[in-house]
Structures are given as structure tokens and as C-alpha cells.
Amino acid sequence: MDDSLLCALAMEILIGLARSDYERLLHKVPSQSAMYTLLRRFSDRDRWSSDKPHSMCVVFECNRDEALTLLEAAKQHCPQALPEIEYGIKLADEKFCR
């Protein structure tokens, strides 16, 4: 199997979004889409903390395909979230794909 394929399969990506960006994405993507289901999964996994600054963000793990889907959704619906998503992907690339 190709090293780049193994890298992509093994990769877990950690992405942190401002709570406002997460909620904007959740409300703007169609509820019938796979992205909506993915976003709902994150909110079920990571309940909001009542402690600041944790209450101001949501952090979740996803695979590369999910991260790229999130990136595309952000391009359409929440461009201000792009740097955080790109940063998560970049860090995972550096960690897993040297």
C-alpha cells in the first residue's frame, strides 16, 4: 500500500472551532447533508463546558475525509473558520506524514 494512502488512513485530525463558527456551520448546512450529521455528532460527543474559555469553543477529532468535508462546508458557509480547520489538517500532516 502507498505510504501517502497509509498516512491518510491513519490520520486523526484535531480541529478546534469558535463556538459561534460551529453554530453558524450547524445552522447553515442543510439538515439532510452528511456534513450536518457530522457536525451533530461532534456536539453530542463534546458537550459545552460551563468554564471559560472552554465554553467558547468546540474541539473534535475527525478523519481526513471528514476534515476536508468540513473545510468545503466552511468555504461556503463560514469562511472565518477556514484558518482553524486548515491548521488542524496541517498539524496532522506534519505529525503523521513526514
Contact 75, 28 (CB under 8 A): no
Number of domains the chain contains: 1
pTM, full prediction? 0.77
Residue pLDDT tens, the chain, 98 long: 455 554 555 578 888 888 889 999 999 999 998 888 888 877 544 455 555 555 577 888 888 899 999 999 999 999 999 999 999 999 888 876 66
Q: Domain range holding 20?
A: 3-96
70: its cell numbers: 468540513
**Nearest alpha carbon to residue 39 among 50, 23, 53, 20:** 23
Distances (CA, A) of 86 to 2, 5, 56, 62, 75: 24, 19, 19, 13, 11
CA distance 66 to 89: 11
